[in-house]
């Protein structure tokens, strides 16, 4: 709600809004700054801001000491893989829920969401045993499956709310013209649904990237993504602040950049279409 205000008022509002924004962002900024200092400078008291010893050595050290590329690729493959698989399963479901709703469609959606309320820790041991028995433990495909199922309710919900906004008349017209179900989906629905699918995809890649329970408990070495990378880093080397910060920055930077570029689509997607 843009209102006309004096320049003085605008300056005041801008000052306070940016002050709050910077406070919220500060921990991330401080981590990045610390990652660029020498270890001595990172723990200096009082803290050093502009006069610190700047260096890129921490990144080189972390890179050498750990197998960052492997963790990184595992994260990429697992988050994108689980999202694509989830979309493949959820799109038909959301489509039919939105356009051919039954009496129990709403209950079904609520039930799906309620499966997410089960605390993961509660079923840790069975999942662990199941993954061991089926050979899925510490494999990328196992994590892709687990994260896909974990996020499936969210994917279905988001797609459902997007599809609801597509006018049904267009589909009926296509049906009248004799379009088959397959063609209807391929040529009528898909082009209109692309924006919704894109923002669902983005949000789920982020959720999967940041998932840090199953990715840590169901992997050891081969399939471990960046969440496991950071878990291994913070434990024994607790006092190496600059290196810990460098590792943290390396773990969050890729998804932070993706998020920054897509924040507009994301916010809309996050609201399940309930907020315009």
Q: How many residues bind other proteins (CB under 8 A)?
A: 103
Helix H or strand E segment including 202: helix 190-210
Q: Cα separation of 204 and 44, whole Å?
A: 40
Closest to other proteins by CB, 137 vs 160, is 160
Per CB under 8 A, contacts with other proteins among 214-253 are 216, 226-227, 230-231, 234, 238-239, 241, 244-245, 248, 251-252
CB 42 to other proteins: min, Å? 8
Closest to other proteins by CB, 51 vs 126, is 126
Residues in the chain: 276
CB 77 to other proteins: min, Å? 17
Per CB under 8 A, contacts with other proteins among 66-105 are 89-90, 92-93, 95-97, 99-100, 102
The reply on whether position 132 binds other proteins by CB under 8 A is no
Q: Cα separation of 51 and 33, whole Å?
A: 12
Closest to other proteins by CB, 108 vs 166, is 108
Helix H or strand E segment including 129: helix 124-134
In the list 51, 64, 117, 236, the residue contacting other proteins (rule: CB under 8 A) is 117
In the list 8, 50, 118, 191, the residue contacting other proteins (rule: CB under 8 A) is 118
CB 272 to other proteins: min, Å? 6
Q: What angle do CA 213, 207, 215 make, to 5 degrees?
A: 25
Q: Cα separation of 89 and 32, whole Å?
A: 39
Binding mask 148-187 for other proteins (x = CB under 8 A): -x--xx--x---xx--x---x---x--------x------
In the list 57, 192, 259, 265, the residue contacting other proteins (rule: CB under 8 A) is 259
In the list 63, 179, 213, 265, the residue contacting other proteins (rule: CB under 8 A) is 213
Q: Cα separation of 201 and 208, whole Å?
A: 10
Place of tokens 């004096």: 6
Per CB under 8 A, contacts with other proteins among 11-50 are 13-14, 16-18, 20-22, 24-25, 27-28, 30-31, 34, 42-43, 45-47
CA–CA distance from 148 to each of 137, 152, 214, 245 (Å)?
Answer: 15, 6, 12, 30
Neighbours of 158 (CB within 10 A): 26
In the list 206, 218, 224, 246, the residue contacting other proteins (rule: CB under 8 A) is 206
Stretch that binds other proteins, among 55-63, 76-84, 194-202, 267-275 (CB under 8 A): 267-275
Q: Cα separation of 85 and 234, whole Å?
A: 32
| Sign for the pseudo-dihedral over CA of 260, 61, 230, 240 | negative
In the list 125, 170, 173, 194, the residue contacting other proteins (rule: CB under 8 A) is 125
b/e map 184-213, b = 16+ CB within 10 Å: bbeebbeeebeebbebbbbbbbbbbbebee
């Amino acid at each position: 709600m843009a209102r006309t205000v004096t320049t003085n008022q605008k300056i005041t509002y801008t000052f306070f809004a940016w002050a709050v924004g910077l406070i919220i962002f500060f921990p991330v900024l401080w981590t990045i700054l610390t990652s660029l200092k020498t270890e001595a400078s990172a723990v200096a008291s009082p803290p050093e801001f502009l006069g610190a010893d700047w260096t890129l050595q921490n990144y080189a050290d972390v890179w050498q000491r750990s197998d960052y590329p492997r963790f990184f690729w595992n994260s990429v493959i697992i988050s994108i893989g689980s999202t694509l698989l989830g979309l493949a399963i959820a799109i038909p479901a959301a489509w039919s829920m939105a356009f051919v709703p039954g009496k129990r469609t709403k209950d079904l959606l609520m039930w799906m969401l309620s499966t997410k309320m089960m605390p993961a820790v509660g079923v840790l041991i069975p999942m662990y045993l199941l993954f061991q028995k089926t050979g899925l433990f510490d494999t990328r495909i196992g994590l892709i499956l687990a994260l896909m199922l974990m996020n499936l309710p969210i994917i279905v919900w988001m797609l459902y709310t997007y599809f609801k906004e597509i006018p049904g008349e267009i589909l009926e017209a296509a049906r009248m013209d004799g379009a088959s179900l397959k063609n209807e989906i391929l040529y009528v629905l898909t082009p209109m649904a692309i924006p919704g699918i894109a923002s669902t995809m983005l949000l789920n890649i982020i959720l999967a990237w940041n998932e840090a329970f199953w990715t840590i408990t169901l992997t050891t070495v081969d399939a471990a993504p960046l969440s496991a990378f950071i878990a291994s880093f913070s434990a024994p080397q607790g006092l190496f602040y600059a290196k810990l910060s460098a590792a943290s920055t390396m773990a969050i930077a890729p998804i932070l950049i993706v998020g920054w570029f897509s924040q507009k689509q994301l916010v809309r997607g996050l609201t399940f279409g309930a907020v315009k």
